[in-house]
Amino acid sequence: MRIGLLSRVHLGPLAVLFALTLSACLLISGLPRATESAYDEALRRALAGAPGVQTDLTVTVGTWSPAVDLRERAQFDSRMRVWQKILPATLRPLVTGPGHMNAKTAATPIAGTGGSSYLNLGWLSDADQRVEWVQGKAPGAPSTMRYEGETIPVFEAGVVEEAVREMNLRIGSTTVIGEHDYAAVKIVGVFRAKQADDRYWSHHNDILHVLKLQPPGSLDFERHATALLSDAGLAKLSGEGRNLAYRWTLPLDPRGASALDVPGLQAAIAEFGRVVDIQSTGTVAPYSLETGLPHLLAEFQAQLSTAQTVMYLVLGGLLAVALGVIVLAVQLLSDRLDHTLALTRARGGSLAQVAGTAAALTAMGVVPGAVAGYALSYLVPGTARPIVHAGPVIVVLAAAGFAAVRIALAHRTPLHERRADVATARPSAKRITLEVLIVVLAVAGAYLLRARGLSASAGQDPFLLIVPVALTVAAALVTLRLYPYPLRLIVRLAARGRAAVPFLGLTRAARARAASVMPVLILLPALAVSVFAAVVSDGIAGTQRLASWQRAGAPIKVTSESEIPAAVIDEIRKAPGVERVVLAQRGQVQVGYGAERAEALAVNVAEWRSILSGAPVSLPAVSGGAIVSPELRGRGTLDLGWQSRFKVPTAAVAESVPGFFTTGKFLVVPLEVLLRPAVNTLLIQGDADVAELAALAPSATVISQESALAGIQDDPLTGTVRATLVIVTIALAGYALLAVVLLLIVGAADRARAVSFLRTLGLSDRQAQWLTVLEVLPMILMTALAGLCLGLALPTALGPGVDLSSYAGDLPVGDYSPDPVLPGALAAGLAVVAVLGAYAHTAISRRRSLGAVLRVGDLT
């Protein structure tokens, strides 16, 4: 047959197919690319935001005798070359730079301090590039001195300014360290990090700061400092009698990380650790790999798995709905071809010929649209997953295959007449049994998913992907089977009335053929998935807002490690936008007279509650008593030590205190119980500029609820999930409206013929409009209602399987309160489109003469 001529004759349906296919392939191929790009960016941010000590690969070995000591830089360099050589190929693109090495002692007490102060020794391979000497000089070669009748080494070393203040390590002072194998440390200089915020220093926090540790059961703190040695000092540093360890660090560059490589990276790290362990064969001291990268990758993989699950659900629904709308358009084209192909079949055309003609003509519309949509998807940055390439192919094959199969079934025999005026036959017992089984299995699957949660195995849980599909199919089957019964009841009521139009319109709707109920299979998943996406998006947004208040605890919070001066507080009170300032002090209190301690906050609870008015968080209303954590409940009056001894009765119990405490032992006490409050926290009501407040209190940290919310939302994975949900919601709503329009167009010929019959009996234009509306509107409303109910139920049904807490400030997203605006807008939109389409169809049909619709003999 002449495909070119047929394409010109049926240019309108082909144009519709082209547009639908282009949009479907652009969405199906573009959205996965966008999500993959966001996944990569999220991984890079997660790795870049983590301390280097967690992401970098560090090989460590301990030494305890001169036989395994490393005394020269060259010995460190040779081992670094070994680690770089055995690094797996998967990790090499992420490990950049030459790396760095260090040697440090640990837990070296200062003689005569009773174990309260410790001074360790450290050597950094790149110290000359990392530090600058602000006082004194750089360390030189060690010397010796006599101590308790023995000759001990004296190491020249430098310390940070913090160690000078807190441990009295002044330039020129000499400190003896050790318990038995003594050594001395002479402080010759004070240094400062050139870039203290560099990720490098996370490996050496003990060098930049004095660490304060509280031993279990003790009320006092231990102070640990590390002094910096020179290369000459390394040559005299031995592990004999000391806790000495050597480390080689391979820094990780997050810029080359890809989410697709996460499983391979985890396997490569395990392999690297195994090979490093093998290098210990034949040596006295074993090598080991230290890194927090597997834990970070596992956390990211969990977040990624949740994001992919949501994406699979909504993109799968989008693909199914898009295919359904395209199939409707193919049905429209095949209906237009029906007469031509029937003549071809009657004149000797084979079944393969007519089916091939339908498939070829369909392909002329869908193939260019698929190619154009696929090409346009490359404008979206991101990695191309298999679905990017497979999606357009699936669309083309489904459209062409449906056209061929439908025509082949319709024209099995030449001139096969079909009755269009007979109601659908009753379904068989086998079919009813199968449909009941599907519904039962879908409900049972949803129950089991809530009961057992997700599978612990790696990757996507197929159970989570099957249950939504089963629920959608079950809802569609229930809708199709139950739809005629209430309609027939309404028909009986309409039959008692005097008006014929309601009876005729509802009767035609109740006797709809199986082909005309196909839109149910499109509208229902379209509405269900779009409502599901909208409800989940709203749930994430609401939980994000709650999490931001949990983090801030007030519209604006100012915290400081030390007391905030009264003059600064007065300036903050006078700052523009500040309406009220609530004073508070945070610290640690002694519970009773033993070693038990708890985090505490002293504040006027009534004033704090007043500035939280309208916020999703609050505190129990108390007057004079303490709010305690569950760990401190039931103790009656608490005897506390904080500046002085005082007693306070327990007034209420709170699971958390917004902005301060979420776990552990904590309590909130009235500010007036302190003799002299040392205010280090301000809770501010108003919309003041955070930067201005930070400038007024440079030593404090200023956080607002709005900045906390922006920090939660400013995440590639979070933004991608919400953006994809919004896009899919809009796309599915559009497809649902297109399905209604195509429904009207597909049944236009049959509907025009029926209206023409009735016009010969005196049917007016207004009655024809109402007849069309009553014919199509009941199915649309029933399907819309079923789709909305399913969409509202899916978040609850899938709740345990879709953990969205990582996108909502680590709070569980469980409040899926339905928003009446979206369901009402969707249902109203579908109804309006149906009514407008019915009116437009009636207006078009009115222009036709009866002779153009009715054949000779139709009225006899």
* Tokens matching residue 656: 């958390």
Give strand pairing partners of 641: 590, 645
What whole-number distance in Å separates Cα of residue 636 and Cα of residue 544? 36
Helix (H) or strand (E) holding 249: strand 243-250
Question: Positive or negative, the Cα torsion across 159, 164, 166, 168?
Answer: positive
* Tokens matching residue 817: 């309160």
Question: Positive or negative, the Cα torsion across 293, 294, 299, 302?
Answer: positive
Phi, psi of 561 (to 5 degrees): -70, -25
What whole-number distance in Å separates Cα of residue 102 and Cα of residue 247? 5
Q: Collapse the DSSP code of 560 into the 3-class scheme (helix H, G, I; strand E, B; otherwise coil) and give the result.
A: coil
What whole-number distance in Å separates Cα of residue 191 and Cα of residue 597? 36
Q: Are 824 and 326 in contact (CB under 8 A)?
A: no
What whole-number distance in Å separates Cα of residue 554 and Cα of residue 566? 21
Q: Give the dihedral of Cα atoms 10, 11, 16, 17; nearest 10 deg.
A: 70
Tally of CB atoms within 10 A around 154: 19
DSSP 8-class letter at 430: H
Give strand pairing partners of 594: none
| Residue (of 524, 541, 537) closest to 732 by Cα position | 524
* CA distances (Å), origin 785, targets 62, 363, 475, 538: 69, 35, 11, 20
| Residue (of 276, 268, 228, 225) closest to 248 by Cα position | 276
How long, in residues, is the chain? 860
124-128 long-range contacts (CB < 8 A, ≥24 apart) are 124/100, 124/204, 124/207, 124/228, 125/73, 125/76, 125/100, 125/101, 126/100, 127/228
* Tokens matching residue 36: 């993959």
What whole-number distance in Å separates Cα of residue 738 and Cα of residue 585? 61
Helix (H) or strand (E) holding 557: strand 556-559
Phi, psi of 91 (to 5 degrees): -90, -20
Which residue in this structure is represented by tokens 């167009």?
745
Strands (E), 439-555: none
What whole-number distance in Å separates Cα of residue 655 and Cα of residue 633? 11
* Pairing between β-strand 556-559 and β-strand 701-704 as defined by DSSP bridges: antiparallel
What whole-number distance in Å separates Cα of residue 375 and Cα of residue 26? 8
pLDDT at 859: 46
DSSP 8-class letter at 252: B
Cα-Cα end-to-end distance for the chain:
37
What whole-number distance in Å separates Cα of residue 224 and Cα of residue 762? 101
Q: How far is CA 11 from the centre of its chain?
A: 44
Percent helix, percent strand, percent coil in the chain, to nearest 5 = 55, 15, 25
Which residue in this structure is represented by tokens 């004033």?
607
Phi, psi of 150 (to 5 degrees): -125, 155
String of DSSP letters for 490-521: HHHHHHTSS-HHHHHHHHHHHT--GGGGTTHH
Helix (H) or strand (E) holding 522: helix 520-552
What whole-number distance in Å separates Cα of residue 528 and Cα of residue 520? 12
| Residue (of 597, 598, 652) closest to 623 by Cα position | 652
Tally of CB atoms within 10 A around 119: 27
Amino acid at 640: L
Q: Collapse the DSSP code of 747 into the 3-class scheme (helix H, G, I; strand E, B; otherwise coil) and give the result.
A: coil
pLDDT at 176: 93
| Residue (of 630, 616, 665) closest to 809 by Cα position | 616
What are the residue ranges in the chain where pLDDT is below 50?
420, 422-423, 456-458, 514-515, 856-857, 859-860
Alpha helices for 244-350 (secondary structure H): 262-278, 293-346
- Residue 350, judged by CB atoms within 10 A of its CB (0-12, 13-18, 19+), counts as exposed
* Tokens matching residue 760: 């010969």
Cβ partners under 8 Å of residue 720, min gap 6: 34, 35, 38, 39, 42, 307
pLDDT at 516: 55
pLDDT at 854: 53
- HSE-CB at 4 with a 13 A cutoff on CA atoms is 0
Q: Are 467 and 798 in contact (CB under 8 A)?
A: yes
Phi, psi of 640 (to 5 degrees): -120, 150
132: left (phi over 0), alpha (psi -120 to 50) or beta: beta
| Residue (of 262, 224, 316, 320) closest to 39 by Cα position | 262
